[in-house]
Amino acid sequence: MPGLGSQALCQLLAAFGSPEKIYSASRQRLRDVLPDAQASAVAAGPVAEHQALIAAWLQQQGNHLVTLADASYPQPLLDIPNPPPLLYAKGRLELLNMPSIAVVGSRNASPQGEKNAEEFSAALSRQGLCIVSGMALGIDGAAHQGALKAGGATIAVVGTGLDIVYPARHRHLAHQIAEHGLIISEFALGTPSRAQNFPRRNRIISGLSQGCLVVEANLQSGSLITARLAVEQGREVFAIPGSIHSPMAKGCHQLIKQGAKLVDSMQDILDEMKIAPQSVADSPSLEQPVDSEHDPLLEALGYDPVSLDVLAARSGLTTERLSAMLLVLELEGKLTSLPGGRFQRIA
């Protein structure tokens, strides 16, 4: 019903007890709960045109409407202060009640940030966690991709009507999620992308999940709102740190200062969420391999550009011997040679 949002619906349910009783209530009684215009609209009864639209949408394969009264309504959302009374859903409805973790972050993420999002999501989904995110560009998209590539479960909570794909660049991803995972929205069909709807949407991302991992976020990122809502909902918040010189790590650092758990391996999350890891074969470690940690030349190199002379001084090796060793490491993809004869470790 146009103009009647989740909050008004919840107020009506609280006052009258069921949809049937709402529709049989007098306009006068409805006005005790709602402003005049909304009360009149409800008293006039359902709009046939909207009912037809929804009915047609529900005919399409995989589309569902889930209400607070349904068994498939996600249990965790019942714990949050303002649960959505109605969820439009497209895909595998059973994912709504899996153990879940939100994986979120900035839209303008760094390539390393997206890689981290994908790797953590793949590894966590192999541990049986459903990856919940917002299908935005950047970290969100990478999180869904990671779960899909690992053959795991993923839920996209979007801020538009389910008949609209936003952002348009994620059309293919949206189809993949609808096929192998689940897309949900509390917004009516046809609702376009509106800035004010995204923070509302974020409470569902965090509310569906037992924990919330922020992978990379600048200080303006909407994912910091998701993290705040997660705290308010009593969910554990995790954040991945980064270089203090990267603006994309600042949001995560701020969260850690405020009490979020610093995460540098998947195990940190599993420990906190009390999930026993699956067998080793199923869960490739995100840690550095031990041998590269102890290669003295890589240690001398560090992660910043270094000249051959400096490296010779640090390692005590001749430049001839160094050149040969560096070439091997470059071929192994562990370093890159930079202009001016400098070298930089990249793995």
Min dist. Cβ of residue 298 to its own copies (A): 9
Nearer to its own copies, 120 or 198 (CB): 120
Nearer to its own copies, 91 or 113 (CB): 113
Nearer to its own copies, 52 or 262 (CB): 262
Min dist. Cβ of residue 244 to its own copies (A): 4
Long-range contacts (CB closer than 8 Å, 24 or more residues apart) made by 60-66? 62/90, 62/91, 62/178, 62/179, 63/88, 63/89, 63/90, 63/162, 64/88, 64/89, 64/90, 64/93, 65/89, 66/93, 66/96, 66/184
Nearer to its own copies, 8 or 297 (CB): 297
Q: For CA atoms 248, 254, 257, 261, give the dihedral sign.
A: negative
d(CA 332, CA 206): 40
Nearer to its own copies, 77 or 248 (CB): 248
Min dist. Cβ of residue 148 to its own copies (A): 21
Nearer to its own copies, 20 or 304 (CB): 304
d(CA 262, CA 241): 7
Site for its own copies, rule CB under 8 A? 108-113, 116, 218, 240-250, 253, 256-257, 261-265, 268, 286, 288, 293, 299-300, 302-306, 336-339, 346-347
Nearer to its own copies, 82 or 243 (CB): 243
Peptide bond between residue 167 and the one before it cis (omega within 30 degrees of 0): yes
Contact between 41 and 117 under an 8 Å Cβ cutoff? The reply is: no
Min dist. Cβ of residue 50 to its own copies (A): 38
Min dist. Cβ of residue 346 to its own copies (A): 7
> Strand pairing of 335-338 and 342-345?
antiparallel
Min dist. Cβ of residue 263 to its own copies (A): 8
Q: Where are the alpha helices (DSSP H) in the chain?
A: 6-16, 19-23, 27-33, 36-43, 48-59, 75-78, 111-126, 139-149, 171-180, 197-208, 223-232, 247-257, 266-272, 290-293, 296-301, 308-315, 319-331
Nearer to its own copies, 32 or 287 (CB): 287
d(CA 69, CA 90): 18
Min dist. Cβ of residue 303 to its own copies (A): 5
Q: What angle do CA 84, 90, 94 make, to 5 degrees?
A: 80
Min dist. Cβ of residue 142 to its own copies (A): 13
